[in-house]
Amino acid sequence: MSPWTEADIPDQTGRTVLVTGANSGLGLRTAQVLAGKGAHVLMGCRSVQRGEDARLSVPGSAEVLELDLADLSSVRAAAEKVAGKVEKLDVLVNNAGIMAVPNGRTADGFERQFGTNHLGHAALTFLLLPVLRRSTDARVVTVSSLMHQYGRMNLDDPNWERRSYSARGAYSQSKLANLLFMRELQRRSPDVMSMAAHPGMTATDLANNMADAHRSAVMRAGGKLFGLFSQSVEMGTLPQLFAATSPDAHGGAYYGPGGFNGLWGHPAASGMTAAARDDLAANRLWELTIKLTGIAPDLP
């Protein structure tokens, strides 16, 4: 069978897609491709100005939605705008993220990586479930990472308040949380197809931002080397595009590059660690997410 490419994406005319972090990298490429295939794309961006600049490169119907995942009041406001703006939401791509940044807190006091990468996206998903259910083929695609395999889900201290902070550990935990959330969403709301994807080793702004954020020469060098040996953004975006559009994508599945160790290549099913397949942990994280965000999803 031929490798899956952008050419295999079905016509998206009449579909509405929300992509978080759509002003650069994987998010911008996702917006460009789906708008080019006929979808109306809502570009969730923390900076409206950067979003508007990026929108100029999107060949089709797109508009910028102000969205700061590190601030639950912004998440609520964005979800409210979407609910009042669109008849239905067909695809939510939870793409935005921060990686291996120094210790810090979100507007609501959560550890920045857990708060942004998991809690912000979970809250947005919870709030948009009623709008997603208006679609006959609703999908939620959550972008995780190969780094999830190093993650340890500490549900007693998810915000690193009682542990010595590790930038790498916090990032890996947030990416593990993405997969646990994806699987639990599929279990609890099977009428909305929930999947995850990862870009393998792809040259995005995340690596550069990680390098610039750390004073450590080792961390800076690691970020630069990552960029040197990475595949293109066009290739790295394919797994999430596959999950968002392919008739062959399945709920509860995880997609990534099918090449060596999941680092490069065309989309294929990707493996999850035992920790990511822990149903008890997924259930506990779901309940903790509701408690921390104060948002309870409307379930069938």
CA quadruple 244, 106, 55, 100: dihedral positive or negative? negative
The catalytic residue among 150, 165, 171, 254 is 171
* Residue at token pair 């995340």: 206
* Integer Cα distance of 148 and 172 in angstroms: 5
Report the candidate in 7, 5, 34 with the shortest Cα–Cα distance to residue 18.
34
Report the candidate in 165, 145, 143, 142 with the shortest Cα–Cα distance to residue 154.
165
User: Residue 78 is encoded by which pair of tokens?
Assistant: 């964005």
* Integer Cα distance of 91 and 141 in angstroms: 8
Residue 165 annotated among the catalytic residues of the structure: no
- Angstrom CA distances, 132 to 22, 118, 295, stand at 19, 19, 17
* Integer Cα distance of 61 and 59 in angstroms: 7
Question: Across the strands, what pairs with 41?
Answer: 17, 62
Report the candidate in 185, 97, 189, 188 with the shortest Cα–Cα distance to residue 144.
97
* Integer Cα distance of 102 and 99 in angstroms: 9
Q: Other C-beta atoms within 10 Å of 71: how many?
A: 17
Please compute, for residue 18, the number of CA atoms within 13 A of its CA located in the half-sphere on the CB side. Answer: 30
DSSP state of 286: H
Report the candidate in 128, 121, 123 with the shortest Cα–Cα distance to residue 94.
121
Catalytic (active-site) positions:
171
